[in-house]
Amino acid sequence: MPKKQVKYDESTIQTLDALEHIRLRTGMYIGRIGDGSHPNDGVYVLLKEVVDNAVDEFIMREGKTIEVSRVDDTITVRDYGRGIPLGKVVDCVSKINTGGKYNDDVFQFSVGLNGVGTKAVNALSSEFAVTSWRDGKYLRADFERGQLVKEKKGKAPGERNGTLVEFTPDPEIFPTIRWNEDFLDHRFRYYAHLNSGLHIRYNGKRYVSRYGLADLLGEELGEEIAVYDIVHIKLDTLEFAFTHTNTYGESYFSFVNGQHTGDGGTHQSAFREGLLKGVNEFAGRNFAGPDVRDGLIGAVAVKLQDPVFESQTKNKLGSTEVRSWVVSDVKDHVVRWLHENPESGEALLKKIKANEKVRKELAAVKKAAKERARKVAIRIPKLIDCKTHLNDRKPTGRKPDRREESTIFLTEGDSAGGAMVQARDVDTQAIFCLRGKPLNCHGLKRDTVYKNEELYNIMRALGIEDDLDGLRYNRVVIATDADVDGMHIRNLLLTYFLHYFEELVLRGHLFILETPLFRVRNKKQTLYCYSEAERNHALETLTKPETTRFKGLGEINPKEFKHFIGDDMRLQQVTVPDKGALKKCLDFYMGKNTPKRRKFITDELITEASW
């Protein structure tokens, strides 16, 4: 059948105003929309943009307190800074490319989006109100979906200078919102640690930090034992802190102008390089980078004018000019600190030498593993690869950049894998089929990864045999059945990643695939339900429905599977809200304490279920 010709003339050309464009192309301005189940979902971006403006006032030494409250879906943020100039209040929250962030004398190290942030919040809110107080006068402007509906001004004697913003995310844009208090807590803690002396109050809870990044690492470590006291250096435009633990790998928390750069970037790379050079100069040795950094936990924050990020969500810094001065400053201060703290310096060198010894002992094991893999097959067994990978070069021309969509599913058995292979997107989705239950590697040494064929092949498939910089997929997704065996396999894989590749989890690359438990349908409609509550609602919604209970992924046919790994894919990100409690948690659930676990199941879970 010939393709219908679409008329293309003057009548088809549209001109949108800026706020309409934000609503139509929301992802361009705030990234993902989501439902609040992911820390980068849109509602948290809206909150961040407003709080960032308040933090900018503190950075400019104007106002030490920020008050934030949430009632249902409505957020209120009050700062005590200078207040928006009254004659420009409406423009600053409704006109694109209007704001004070372009003036480096007024805002030297802004964390907000120049001229866009608050406008996006306004455009994407069903109700938005801003009030500015300056020198005994005020102006309040109320908006609905970005359109001004009311403006009021007058005198306000006794009211402190500052700005108050109140907004409710628009249900037309965000139909479902599930606020996660852990995400909010995490974000406010970061604000406090990055701005020593700033006081944030959120729904009655207070956030304040005296020692900045040293406090951040201390909280992240929790009960985990540091090899030596946390090193903490704070300069005008650079702050960093680090120590070593006895865990595997290296973990970093990096920031630019208060923005958490979860994927690192040039400042994080420069910090790592400067640390290596400083340690080697102090020791008079030429230690290898992996030996110096294995077990390291570090934090680095820089302040830059006009930072360049690699995406709108600002997860990775791309500014190249930071390298030279960050490397130099980190190296010099690391050398000085180690000379001034000889006991800690000796503990650090002892840790590095131990790492060096383990690496050399592992060399023979790694070589044997590679030779064994080469004899078995040129390709990685059980891996059905995709065409696009995270570590590919950025595509040129008009070809879309789909690297962040690159995904590998770790699934149990050939039946589930077979259905997923037929349903997948061959460009961005790879499948790795597990052979039964993986080894419980909790408490085992690193050589286990190379001696166990299954665990070694997972590492090879992901491209992280040498370090995480070789990661081939942006999303590593555990896809197992929702039964007891599937949950056990999920826990074994979680233990594998948390034990050997913790940074992969901390960077936000590990997910769990949610698949439906029930299919409820009649002759006209089919609903897939992910819980008993959803099933019950579906049964009430449909007339004369029939219900199917999915026992495993292998029972879902490829046509249906397209729904669950396509545009409607539900992924639950694996997060580590308390790094210090992680070891204790793994010891209990995956360690050799079967009697305690049995008692816990008997006393707690079964008792709870009986209610």
- Find the range with the poorest average confidence among 125-134, 206-215, 395-404: 395-404
Using DSSP's 3-state secondary structure scheme, residue 166 falls into: strand
What integer pLDDT is reported at residue 50 of this predicted model?
A: 93
Confidence at residue 17, expressed as pLDDT on a 0 to 100 scale:
63
Question: Can you read off the two tokens belonging to residue 13?
Answer: 């050309």
Closest by Cα among 80, 37, 73 to 55: 80
The alpha helices in 31-116, defined as continuous H runs, are: 42-59, 89-94
Helix (H), strand (E) at residue 360: helix 342-376
How far apart are the C-alpha atoms of 564 and 561, rounded to whole Å? 5
> Which tokens belong to 474?
């942006």
More reliable by pLDDT, 334 or 35: 334
Given a cut of 50, is residue 15 above it in pLDDT? no
For residue 608, what pLDDT band results from cuts at 50, 70 and 90?
very low
Mean pLDDT of 257-286: 93
The fold of 379-394+402-503+552-577 is Rossmann fold (3.40.50)
Whether the per-residue pLDDT at 102 is higher than 50: the answer is no
- Provide the mean pLDDT of the chain: 86
* CA–CA gap between residue 296 and residue 227 (Å, rounded): 10
Closest to 67 (Cα-Cα) out of 58, 76, 57, 55: 76
Cα gap 456→385, rounded to integer Å: 17
Residue 109 pLDDT: 54
DSSP state letters, 501-544: -HHHHHTT-EEEEE--SEEEE-SS-EEEESSHHHHHHHHHHSSS
Sheet of strand 199-202: strand arrangement: 147-155, 137-144, 125-134, 162-169, 74-79, 65-71, 199-202, 205-207
- Determine the pLDDT at residue 576: 79
Tell me which DSSP letter residue 391 carries.
T
Share of the chain above pLDDT 70, in %: 89
pLDDT higher than 60, residue 286: yes
In this structure, CATH architecture of domain 213-359: 2-Layer Sandwich (3.30)
The vertex-190 CA angle with 113 and 277, nearest 5°, equals 95
Please state the rounded mean pLDDT for residues 103-126: 65
Average pLDDT rounded to a whole number, residues 271-300: 95
**Six-digit token pair at 74?**
């409505």
What is the residue whose two structure tokens read 């600002």? Answer: 314
Is a pLDDT exceeding 70 seen at residue 520? Answer: yes
Tell whether the model's pLDDT for residue 595 goes beyond 50. Answer: yes
Kindly tell me if the per-residue pLDDT of 139 is higher than 70. yes
Choose among 166, 190, 146, 233: nearest CA to 55.
190
Q: Is the pLDDT of residue 607 over 70?
A: no
Are the beta carbons of 230 and 217 closer than 8 angstroms? yes
Residues 6+ apart with CB under 8 A from 162: 57, 63, 78, 79, 80, 81, 82, 83, 132, 133
The residues, ordered by sequence, that sit 6+ positions from 451 with a Cβ below 8 Å of its Cβ are 365, 369
**Residue from 163, 169, 168, 18 nearest 88 by CA:** 163
The CATH number given to 18-207 is 3.30.565.10
Give residue limits of the domains in the chain. Answer: 18-207, 213-359, 379-394+402-503+552-577, 518-549, 582-611
Digit-coded pLDDT (tens) for 17-68: 677 778 887 877 787 788 888 788 889 989 999 998 999 899 888 889 999 9
